[in-house]
């Protein structure tokens, strides 16, 4: 049997978990079995990294953007379909006597809709979509939410398999009739656990590189500065904690549209000297090993990859109780989960951990014992097994090598 061409389509290669895992997958698929292809929009810090990947054919679609734009969306759809048509012709012309196959694997809402219909238009049968968090959520106007649910339901009929990163998303998708149980498979969003557990770094030097030099405890959040992540809640929480713990410092790693709002709020609350904006950083393992507490204030998620990153580094977590958070953070065991927008509740849990460092250390240790479920190599093996089940090939060996 010939190689299977696996085409991953994602909207934007920003520095996020879905994007990093997609790059890992396309660059680590078994080369004896798979030909990886990547299609994405032109925006994002990981575009240059994607261009450097060996043996990965990479196509950029400038019109593939996150915002709804009827003209751009139609152009992106047509261009994706054109790329897929060319890939299909290439596969067919090089198949010879082998039965080569194509799998289209989409990520994110926009690429998920456009990419799956483009695959259908070009006659590709094996279509997979990963739900990294739904496009619809409780904070949307009812009509907007209903429209997104309608689009997802409409696209279900042409999707052979759905990958869910959390059981919460699986239950929600089943409830909203986005998919049926026979099409759904749970595959955790993975991390390279060893990368976080084998870090050798000077904590004080890492903190100094972030502008933190007073030696006090550091509470951090790693996230894109967009409404979904509610970074302004992080700043408001910081104000309450600082009122009772004057040596604590707060760190935001990331960037995005709300950056100026964050700075303005920190200045208004008179804590701009205590809230450090580090921008996007690639030394997240070192940062995780240099902080006391990780916080996540998201309003909705799939299962945020930053949670197992903190677990692997032995850092306790205080996170909003959304979607898959409880599947990583067991309340009172390796951290705490708080209702979204509960600023006071989040501040109380952070202060508790700051005032009880022995409990914080114990919770961090529990996290390291629980993180194996989120191993990125396990994620890759499960994806290869799914591809093989769709295409009829066989998998053997520890990594599920498909023949």
- Could you please report the per-residue DSSP string of 35-96? EEEEEE-S-STTHHHHHT-TT-EEEE-TT--SS--HHHHHHHHHHHHHHHHHHHHHHHHH-T
Helix axes 259-268, 231-244, angle to 10 degrees: 20
Q: Which fold has domain 4-190+375-402?
A: Rossmann fold (3.40.50)
Contacts of 329 (CB under 8 A, 6+ apart): 307, 317, 319, 335, 336, 337
* 161, β-bridge pairs: 128
Class of domain 193-372: alpha beta
Look at the pTM and tell me if it is higher than 0.85.
yes
Report pLDDT digits (tens) over 158-204: 999 999 999 999 999 999 999 999 999 999 999 999 999 999 899 99
Report pLDDT digits (tens) over 16-53: 889 999 999 999 999 999 999 999 999 999 999 999 99
Report pLDDT digits (tens) over 368-400: 999 999 999 999 999 999 999 999 865 544 434
Rounded-to-integer distance, Cα 328 and Cα 326, Å = 5
Rounded-to-integer distance, Cα 134 and Cα 164, Å = 10
pLDDT at 334 over 80: yes
Nearest Cα neighbor of 41 from 128, 117, 110, 121 is 110
pLDDT of residue 17: 87
How many beta carbons lie within 10 A of that of residue 129, not counting itself? 30
Show me where the domains of the chain are located: 4-190+375-402, 193-372
Show the 3-state SS of 167-195: HHHHHHHHHCCCCCHHHEEECCCCECHHH
pLDDT of residue 366: 98
* 184, β-bridge pairs: 162
Least confident of 81-90, 136-145, 295-304, 313-322: 136-145
In this structure, the chain runs to a length of 403
pLDDT at 403 over 50: no
How many beta carbons lie within 10 A of that of residue 198, not counting itself? 11
Q: Pick the residue with more confidence: 223 or 139?
A: 223
Least confident of 286-290, 323-327, 364-368: 323-327
Domains 4-190+375-402 and 193-372 share a fold: yes
């Amino acid at each position: 049997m010939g190689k299977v061409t696996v085409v991953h389509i994602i909207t934007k290669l920003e520095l996020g978990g879905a994007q990093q895992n997609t790059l890992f997958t396309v660059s680590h698929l078994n080369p004896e079995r798979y030909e990886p292809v990547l299609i994405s929009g032109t925006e994002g810090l990981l575009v240059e990294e994607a261009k450097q990947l060996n043996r990965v054919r990479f196509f950029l679609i400038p019109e593939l953007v996150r915002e709804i734009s009827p003209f751009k969306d139609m152009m992106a759809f047509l261009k994706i379909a054109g790329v897929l048509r060319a890939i299909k012709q290439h596969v067919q012309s090089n198949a010879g006597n082998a039965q080569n196959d194509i799998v289209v694997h989409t990520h994110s809402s926009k690429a998920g809709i456009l990419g799956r219909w483009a695959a259908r238009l070009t006659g590709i049968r094996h279509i997979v979509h990963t739900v990294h968090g739904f496009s619809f959520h409780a904070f949307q106007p009812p009509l907007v939410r209903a429209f997104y649910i309608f689009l997802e339901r409409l696209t279900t009929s042409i999707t052979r398999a759905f990958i869910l990163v959390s059981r919460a998303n699986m239950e929600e998708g089943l409830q909203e009739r986005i998919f049926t149980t026979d099409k759904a498979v749970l595959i955790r969003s993975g991390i390279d656990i060893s990368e976080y557990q084998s870090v050798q770094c000077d904590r004080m030097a890492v903190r100094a590189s972030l502008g933190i030099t007073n030696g006090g405890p550091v509470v951090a959040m790693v996230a894109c500065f967009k409404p979904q992540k509610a970074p302004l809640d992080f700043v408001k929480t910081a104000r309450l904690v600082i009122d009772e713990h004057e040596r604590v410092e707060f760190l935001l790693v990331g960037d995005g549209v709300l950056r100026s709002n964050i700075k303005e709020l920190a200045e208004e609350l008179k804590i701009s000297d205590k809230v450090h904006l580090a921008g996007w950083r690639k030394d997240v393992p070192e940062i995780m090993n240099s902080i006391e507490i990780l916080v996540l204030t998201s309003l909705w998620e799939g299962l945020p990859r930053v949670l197992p990153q903190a677990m692997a580094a032995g850092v306790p977590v205080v996170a909003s109780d959304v979607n898959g958070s409880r599947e990583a953070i067991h309340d009172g065991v390796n951290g705490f989960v708080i209702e979204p927008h509960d600023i006071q509740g989040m501040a109380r849990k952070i202060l508790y951990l700051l005032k009880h460092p022995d409990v914080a250390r114990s919770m961090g240790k529990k996290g390291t014992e629980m993180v194996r479920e989120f191993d990125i190599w396990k994620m890759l093996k499960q994806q290869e097994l799914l591809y093989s089940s769709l295409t009829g090939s066989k998998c053997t060996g520890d990594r599920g090598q498909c023949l």
